[in-house]
Homo-oligomer: A and B are copies of this chain.
Amino acid sequence: MQIAKRMDNVQRSYIREILKVTARPDIISFAGGLPHPDSFPVQGVAEAAAAVLAESGSEALQYSTTEGYLPLREWISARYARQGIEVSPDEILITTGSQQALDLVAKTTIDRGAPVVIERPGYLGAIQCFSFYGAQFRTVDLTPLGVDVEALRREAKGARLFYAVPSFQNPSGITYDEPTRREVAAIMAETGCMLVEDNPYGELRFMGTPVAPIRKWAESPSVLLGSFSKVVSPGLRIGWACAPAELMRHMVTAKQASDLHTPMFTQRLLHRFLVDNDVDEHIASIRKRYGAQRQCMMDAIRKHFPECVTVTEPEGGMFLWCGLPEGVTSEHLFHKAIERKVAFVPGCPFYVDGTDTGFRLNFSNASQDDIVEGIARLGACLTEELAR
């Protein structure tokens, strides 16, 4: 059996491997990127499923168009309009989670060896996905206000695309402020590098001032990705890509070859859920929950972590980032933490150069009791490691 050479570039997802270790019920895990299960609108989904099957069962169970269910694309378009962003339903492709949107962008735009700019640290699912197509990574550091724009201006020249998660970034929790967003838009137009803006957490702001996607200020063609995974359910696997017409045409072709179309049943069910329920109220309850859990984690960190460990202060989303003092590696810390039955994701997979000076904590999935206990255990590990 011969395996394609492209597999040499790709690591099996580190996080998914880690999740197997951390799924043990006796471990308090801050490792995964899971929404809190109590946030899933099970009853609303059940009602929507029953209604769709009763009213249009044959259509819901039949093959359908690659572009996706039009009323769902119209709903997304209307929601963007509320943020002052114009995206027509024709510019929206429904995908099997926003991970597939990322894969389709990569499949249609990245040639082997093409320079691709990513944030440092960056979303490991994007690193993995781009690696399949032979991307040559260039990285730009993050500051507390977003990407380092001077570095971006340098690295974007001649690059195929810049992949960014400007709101509540994964893994850092950092959010680009408005001046940084405007500057990024300008740099993209100036350099001809295409922005691929991933915004799965944008609706999950629990403090601070809302800011629109960079797309709002874009002066050149760009791609904007979205997802229902964090605001309704990841198990439905529904995301989307907004792309300019020329790229959309290619992405539709790529999606045809990838999986024909996203399940029609889940698309119709989701649309029905969105129109039959108060989505804003539902999202507000998720924000409230995650805001409280984030506060609980920050308080516990201040209490238990040594002062030399730096911590980001996210205003939304699901993650925060801890920076380690020199001499401590997060991978070593990870093994110590597992012994104490607490888990996180070490920094390494978020870097393309093997850097390992921090780690990611998720605050959306665990209960407040587990957050308090888990952070105390982690604090004890850190204290021990720093004493060595």
Interfacial chain B residues near A128, Cβ < 8 Å? 253, 256-257
- B54, B109, B125: the one contacting A3 at CB < 8 Å is B109
The 4 closest A-B pairs by CB, nearest first: A42-B57, A61-B233, A37-B58, A61-B235
Mind listing 11 A-B residue pairs with CB under 8 Å? A4-B107, A7-B250, A7-B254, A12-B249, A40-B61, A50-B50, A96-B259, A100-B258, A129-B257, A237-B260, A266-B266
Return the chain B residue nearest A267 by Cβ.
B235
A12–B234 Cα distance when bound, in Å, is: 30
Report yes or no: B257 in contact with A235, Cβ–Cβ below 8 A: no
Report yes or no: B254 in contact with A132, Cβ–Cβ below 8 A: yes
A322–B253 Cα distance when bound, in Å, is: 28
- B2, B3, B12: the one contacting A256 at CB < 8 Å is B12
A109 to chain B, nearest CB (A): 5
Interface presence of A103 (CB below 8 A): yes
Interfacial chain B residues near A237, Cβ < 8 Å? 96, 259-263
Report yes or no: A6 in contact with B37, Cβ–Cβ below 8 A: no
A132–B111 Cα distance when bound, in Å, is: 12
Interface presence of A1 (CB below 8 A): yes
**With A63-B32, A108-B3: A257-B40 Cβ-Cβ less than 8 Å:** no
A33–B256 Cα distance when bound, in Å, is: 14
Q: For the A-B complex with A61-B236, A236-B263 known, give 4 more contacts whose Cβ atoms are closer than 8 Å.
A: A7-B253, A45-B53, A49-B53, A125-B260
- B32, B35, B109, B265: the one contacting A4 at CB < 8 Å is B109
Interface residues of A in 55-84 (CB under 8 A from B): 57-66
A100 to chain B, nearest CB (A): 4
Report yes or no: A1 in contact with B247, Cβ–Cβ below 8 A: yes
Interface presence of A5 (CB below 8 A): yes
Interface presence of A346 (CB below 8 A): no
A197 to chain B, nearest CB (A): 15
Interface presence of A277 (CB below 8 A): no
Interfacial chain B residues near A246, Cβ < 8 Å? 1, 3
Interface presence of A300 (CB below 8 A): no
Interfacial chain B residues near A45, Cβ < 8 Å? 53, 57, 61, 265
Report yes or no: A16 in contact with B256, Cβ–Cβ below 8 A: yes
Interface presence of A285 (CB below 8 A): no
Interface presence of A99 (CB below 8 A): yes
- B99, B110, B250: the one contacting A259 at CB < 8 Å is B99
